[in-house]
Amino acid sequence: MNDATAPAETGGAPAAPVQSSADPVPELQAALAARAAAEAALKEASDARLRALAELDNVRKRAQRDIENAQRFALERFAGELLAVRDSLELATGGGTGKSADPAALVAGQQATLQLLTRAFEKFSIQQISPKGAAFDPQLHEAMLAQPTDAAPPGTVLEVLQAGYQLNGRLLRPARVIVAAAPAAGG
């Protein structure tokens, strides 16, 4: 055997790592302090996250309530305007009192009621579609009849049977119209 290896084998116990003579307690205390600070920061961040989630939930619930109220009361102003129309109609019909009204008063009441309704429509951006003499537009008009005529070019609205209406540019009801058609040949 080799003599160079003998002293290593005879030592018995493995060599311990070399320790410095510095005290490890301050290092451990600093590590503990850093860990405590990190745990405190984590707890603070966790609390902030929970508060943010609660606030987000509150905002979502508030927005949902606002949407529900907007849907529920969307027609409130319009309905308020229509109450005046109803009152006018009740006056025009005598309100069920059994009084007979003269025809001129009935006509005047009907005209006043129509004016109230027209003002309510204007106030809420409801426009009437009355296309007499205009070109037929299938987006806005519903042709009820095509009438052969020489009086107007084919595709022209001859007569409006029922006016249509738009709300802020959106079609509520198409105008029901009679449209000019080319006269029959050889007639």
Pairing of strands 126-129, 164-167: antiparallel
CATH code, residues 126-187:
2.30.22.10
For residue 17, the model assigns a pLDDT of: 53
For residue 165, the model assigns a pLDDT of: 93
4-14 residue pLDDT tens:
444 445 555 55
**pTM above 0.75?**
no
Full DSSP string of 82-125: HHHHHHHHHHHTGGGS-PPPPHHHHHHHHHHHHHHHHHHHHHTT
For residue 33, the model assigns a pLDDT of: 94
Size (the chain), residues: 187
12-67 residue pLDDT tens:
555 555 555 578 889 999 999 999 999 999 999 999 999 999 999 999 999 999 99
Which tokens belong to 140? 């806005």
Cβ atoms 169, 154 nearer than 8 A: no
Pairing of strands 170-173, 141-148: unpaired
Q: Quick one: pLDDT band at residue 180, thresholds 50, 70, 90?
A: very high
List, edge to edge, every strand of the sheet that includes 141-148. 141-148, 175-181, 157-162
119-170 residue pLDDT tens:
988 888 899 998 999 999 999 999 999 999 998 999 999 999 999 999 988 9
